[in-house]
Structures are given as C-alpha cells and as structure tokens.
Amino acid sequence: MIILGLILVLVGWLAHISILVTIGVILAIVGVVLAVLGGTGRLVGGRAHWY
C-alpha cells in the first residue's frame, strides 16, 4: 500500500493531477500506520496476521 501510494503521488505530480496526489498521500499514510501497528504486534482488523 505504501508503494502504491508513492507511485500515485509521483504520477499525479508529474501529470499535474491533484486528486492522484491526494489519494496517493492518503494510501501512503494508511500503509505506514498499518505497517507500524503490525510491526509492534498489535492486531490489525481483529487479525494477528494477514495472508
């Protein structure tokens, strides 16, 4: 999710499409939050692991 967010930010910035930049930033932030929560051992969405 972090990588997808960064790709959307890059494409949106290069193509001057602000909605892609906005969506990319949101996806990157959510991805970082989920990665931090998963890394600390907390349950994410009621599950210990996502397969």
pLDDT(9) > 80: yes
Residue 21: how many other CB atoms lie within 10 Å = 18
Q: What is the pLDDT of residue 39?
A: 80
H helices of the chain, in order, are 2-15, 18-39
pLDDT class of 37 with cuts at 50, 70, 90: confident
Backbone angles phi, psi at 47, to 5 degrees: -125, 145
Query: Does residue 17 carry a pLDDT above 60?
Result: yes
Structure tokens at 19: 């909605």
3 state SS of 6: helix
Encoded amino acid at 32, one letter: V
In 1-51, at which residue ranges do the beta strands (DSSP E only) sit? none
Q: What is the mean pLDDT of residues 11-29?
A: 95
Confidence check: pLDDT of 51 > 60 = no
Confidence of residue 12 (pLDDT cuts 50, 70, 90): very high
Both tokens assigned to 4: 């997808």
